[in-house]
Amino acid sequence: MAGVSLNPELVAQSMNTTPVTLGDWVVIAPSILTILGGTLCLMTRKNMSLQPKIGIGFLALLVLANVALLARVIDRGVLTMVMGNWLPPFGIAFTVDALGAGLSLVASIVAFCTGLYASVSVDGTGRRYGFYPFLLLMMTGVSGAFLTGDIFNLYVWFEVLLISSYGLLVLGNDRAQLDGTVKYGILNLLGTNLFLVATALLYGLFGTLNMADLSQKVSAISADQAGMLSTIAALYFLAFAMKAAAFPVNFWLPASYHTPNIVVSALFAGLLTKVGVYALIRVFVLIMPAARSDLGDLIALVAIATMLTGAMGALSQGEVRRSLGYMIISGIGSMLGGIAVGSTLAISGAIFYAAHSIIVMTALYMAAGILRLMGGSYRLRDLGGLYAASPAFAAIFLILGFAVSGLPPFSGFWPKIMLLDAMLSSGRVWVATALLVSSFLTTIAIGRIWIYSFWRGGPEGTADGTAIALMPTDKALSSPALWVSLGILTALVIYIGLQPEWMLQLVSRGASGVVEPMGYLRSVFGGA
């Protein structure tokens, strides 16, 4: 600082003196790019044809930045950058391991596809009221949450993504949306407040917020602090379970996800709940593994209940979007099952499942949007005969459906196998049973949607054996952006299903990085 003399000894203790190269900046690039893109979009809000160009352009840059980040993490191990050149644990650290970088990449691909899809499905009013700025700023929050190495900073990124998500959810402003947003908003406010309270208690107990530092201090905890720590752990569990829509705090999701524009539902379905699961893995596996094994039975119970309510809810709904909403919940149950077991294999399975679920749920909601354009409704009762309209789309929908219910050879199969293996080998037979039952029910639910909307001759009332001629006329259907975005995600689902090796390597690397965080600690504090 100008005009103030600094004690060089103190500077050496508190400031980073090694030069930071251009390559290290890739750690922070996803957050900066989306802030810059989002603000540019907001400044040019009135220019509605420019909005998608800026938005999609910056989302493409985001994907590239995340590819570079993941490549660097695979090449060099965990990366850390501390803001303002302070040394950890004083400064706010961004610490990126294979888990964070991998999920951040998948999230950015999904965001890019939704940006593309939205160029068709979000109309002028939606753009004018800021769809693209909200989308980009939400990605700032999502990327920040995946990449940060500081638990209070994680809270801040949660707020960033939630505030943008409120905006996206209410965009369009009809009665059902306001209703959904109020439910979503109130429950998420409660959740973030619990998160904040738990973080304050954690800071009071340990005097640090850096995740690596916390991980060391928690493992060296004295007996009289242990009670306080389990309170904090329970608070964190409740807070993140709300975000992830776990049973019994899952009701906000089916109440709100079917209200906004379908592309917003697709984005939320992919990303938001998974950020909650990611936070659970970070807090319970990296920072307080002992609390995780104490809460193991509770997490397992919640996981079983979440899987089953999700699957049965999906089966009971007559509306495609609501049914898909319950499938998200069922998937969250599977990931919680992995966290309940907590072995490296189980966490790998949970991470793999999260990545798979981000892609496939977004793709399914996008497909539901196309279903609506073709058949004119989201209600199963009014749909039918779409196989004749487009056999290719019927096949895509079936592929995505198989993937979400965990049938081979698509991306849902591998994480379910890993989770099952881990659950059985750790003796959690009931969780494994619930996983199988919920997969089976999901298969029926998705089969039901497919048969009703594609296979039968026409909407309810069409006589058996006859078919009505259905020629979709909506102009939006001929726009390539819809099909390209759905195609990219479907291709990923098939590719991961057929070529799972690289993904398996990546997730097991991510999982062992949080189960045994030596690399994480070394990256933050340096040395041995």
Q: Is 10 in the site for another protein (CB under 8 A)?
A: no
Residues touching another protein: how many (CB under 8 A)? 28
| Closest distance of CB 247 from another protein, Å | 37
| Closest distance of CB 148 from another protein, Å | 12
Q: Is 19 in the site for another protein (CB under 8 A)?
A: yes
Q: Is 81 in the site for another protein (CB under 8 A)?
A: yes
Looking at residues 43 to 62 of the shown chain, list those that interact with another protein (rule: CB under 8 A): 43, 45-46
Intra-chain end-to-end CA distance of the chain, in Å: 32
160 vs 341, beta carbon nearer another protein: 160
- Binding pattern for the stretch 481-500 against another protein, x by CB under 8 A and - elsewhere: --------------------
Structure tokens at 488: 């990219």
The answer to whether 40 touches 56, Cβ cutoff 8 Å, is no
209 vs 253, beta carbon nearer another protein: 209
The answer to whether 212 touches 517, Cβ cutoff 8 Å, is yes
Q: Is 192 in the site for another protein (CB under 8 A)?
A: no
Q: Is 3 in the site for another protein (CB under 8 A)?
A: yes
21 vs 49, beta carbon nearer another protein: 21
Looking at residues 239 to 278 of the shown chain, list those that interact with another protein (rule: CB under 8 A): none
1 vs 392, beta carbon nearer another protein: 1
The answer to whether 513 touches 101, Cβ cutoff 8 Å, is no
Task: Return the residue of 83, 186, 189, 491 that touches another protein, per CB under 8 A.
Answer: 83
Cβ contacts of 372 within 8 Å, gap of 6 or more:
262, 320, 378
Task: Return the residue of 14, 47, 85, 219 that touches another protein, per CB under 8 A.
Answer: 85
Of 16-24, 206-214, 283-291, 368-376, which part binds another protein (CB under 8 A)?
Answer: 16-24
Using the CB atoms, write b or e for 214-238: b if 16+ within 10 Å: bbbbbeeeeeeeeeebeebbbbbbb
Q: Is 12 in the site for another protein (CB under 8 A)?
A: no
20 vs 444, beta carbon nearer another protein: 20
Q: Is 440 in the site for another protein (CB under 8 A)?
A: no
Q: What percentage of the chain's residues is helix, strand, coil (to nearest 5)?
A: 75, 5, 20
Q: Is 171 in the site for another protein (CB under 8 A)?
A: no
Identify which of 59, 53, 38, 268 has the alpha carbon closest to the alpha carbon of residue 170: 268
| Closest distance of CB 81 from another protein, Å | 5
35 vs 511, beta carbon nearer another protein: 35
| Closest distance of CB 225 from another protein, Å | 33
Phi, psi of 44, rounded to the nearest 5 degrees:
-105, 30
20 vs 498, beta carbon nearer another protein: 20
Looking at residues 123 to 152 of the shown chain, list those that interact with another protein (rule: CB under 8 A): 133
32 vs 476, beta carbon nearer another protein: 32
| Closest distance of CB 140 from another protein, Å | 9
| Closest distance of CB 5 from another protein, Å | 14
129 vs 251, beta carbon nearer another protein: 129
| Closest distance of CB 85 from another protein, Å | 4
Structure tokens at 235: 């608070």
Structure tokens at 354: 């999260």
The answer to whether 486 touches 117, Cβ cutoff 8 Å, is yes
CA atoms within 13 A on the CB side of 172: 21
43 vs 429, beta carbon nearer another protein: 43
Residue 245 gets the label, from left (phi > 0), alpha (psi -120 to 50) or beta, of left
| Closest distance of CB 460 from another protein, Å | 46
Task: Return the residue of 26, 54, 79, 82 that touches another protein, per CB under 8 A.
Answer: 82
Q: Do the bridges between strand 93-96 and strand 79-82 make them parallel or antiparallel, or are there none, so unpaired?
A: antiparallel
The answer to whether 86 touches 15, Cβ cutoff 8 Å, is yes
Neighbours of 10 (CB within 10 A): 9
| Closest distance of CB 526 from another protein, Å | 14
Write out 349-382 in H/E/C secondary structure.
Answer: HHHHHHHHHHHHHHHHHHHHHHHHHHHCCCEHHH
| Closest distance of CB 40 from another protein, Å | 7
* Whole-angstrom distance, CA of residue 98 vs CA of residue 227: 32
Neighbours of 4 (CB within 10 A): 5
Task: Return the residue of 21, 49, 222, 466 that touches another protein, per CB under 8 A.
Answer: 21
- Binding pattern for the stretch 27-46 against another protein, x by CB under 8 A and - elsewhere: -x---x--xx-xxx-xx-xx
Q: Is 6 in the site for another protein (CB under 8 A)?
A: no
The answer to whether 520 touches 514, Cβ cutoff 8 Å, is yes
* Whole-angstrom distance, CA of residue 308 vs CA of residue 317: 14
Identify which of 367, 180, 389 has the alpha carbon closest to the alpha carbon of residue 262: 367
Q: Is 1 in the site for another protein (CB under 8 A)?
A: yes
Neighbours of 49 (CB within 10 A): 8
Of 25-33, 97-105, 158-166, 365-373, which part binds another protein (CB under 8 A)?
Answer: 25-33
The answer to whether 361 touches 335, Cβ cutoff 8 Å, is no
Task: Return the residue of 6, 22, 392, 528 that touches another protein, per CB under 8 A.
Answer: 22
* Whole-angstrom distance, CA of residue 175 vs CA of residue 106: 33
130 vs 331, beta carbon nearer another protein: 130
* Whole-angstrom distance, CA of residue 454 vs CA of residue 105: 33
Structure tokens at 113: 């596809």
Contact set with another protein (CB under 8 A): 1-3, 16, 19-22, 24-25, 28, 32, 35-36, 38-40, 42-43, 45-46, 81-85, 91, 133
